[in-house]
Amino acid sequence: MITIGDFGICNLSIVPVRAAASDESEIVTQLLFGDFVKIIEKGEPWIRVRFDRDNYEGWMDFKQLVYIDKDIYESGTSTRQKVLFEPILELEGPKGIQNIMLGSDLPFYRDGKLKLGSETYTVLSPVDMEIKPDLFEIAEIYLNTPYLWGGKSIFGIDCSGLIQIVFKVCGYDLPRNASEQVKVGTEVAFSDRKAGDLAFFINANGKVHHVGILLSAHEIIHAAGRVRKDRFDENGIYNLDLEKQTHKHHSIRRIL
């Protein structure tokens, strides 16, 4: 029997978090293995959670967490956990073998083992967690990942999810949405742009709705249909497949 607590850790590879308490509701974001959440509304089968890293909220199935006490939650969220920077990692846990993916937290990682409350997971393949990930190498792992609204994984991701996860792997916490990410870091002039900067784009109403990472002064990686590389200039993004401008430039921010 599962008793719903006040705090939890995601113990599955990818979990949808929805706008409303229904399987028919849109996915607004996803939890990856090792993500800590606070439960703010309890019910069965739906609970409302707040994601510790960015305060994003939504509804999920109560069976998709392992529940922990406040001390473990505070210990886990007050220190930066190791983050997986390989595409896939095989674990053995209480329910057998499972695979987790790039961007997942590895809570309380030590000597090849992870602790999620009362659950212990063993890493089945060697992983050197002391390597410093390269931002551009991590971003390119996602190339050709299909676009998925609310997605944050190598099997489906949206534009701001791509930015959030790539920077998370490299040690930086960013908000979930492009409209919030544009408030982070320092704005730089277009003429001063460089690789690693974030470029933001606006819709017809002037609202920031898209973001990508500059790979150079004239190339960007972003999620639009799929994670792809396109040409970038002062007007915006020029889609090489469609042979036209698809996103109107707004600003450039520097995080690194």
Active site residues: 159, 210, 222
**Separation between Cα atoms, residue 129 and residue 127, nearest integer Å:** 6
Token reading at 201: 């784009």
Angle at 239 between CA 235 and CA 242, to 5 degrees: 125
DSSP calls for 194-243: -TT-EEEEE-TTS-EEEEEEEEETTEEEEEESEEEEEEEETTEEEETTTT
**Separation between Cα atoms, residue 171 and residue 210, nearest integer Å:** 22
Token reading at 113: 């083992």
Q: If you search the block for the tokens 């599955």, which residue do you land on?
A: 12
Per the DSSP assignment, residues forming a β-bridge with 228 are 222
Quote the DSSP letter at residue 134. Answer: P
Q: How many CB atoms lie within 10 A of CB 253?
A: 18
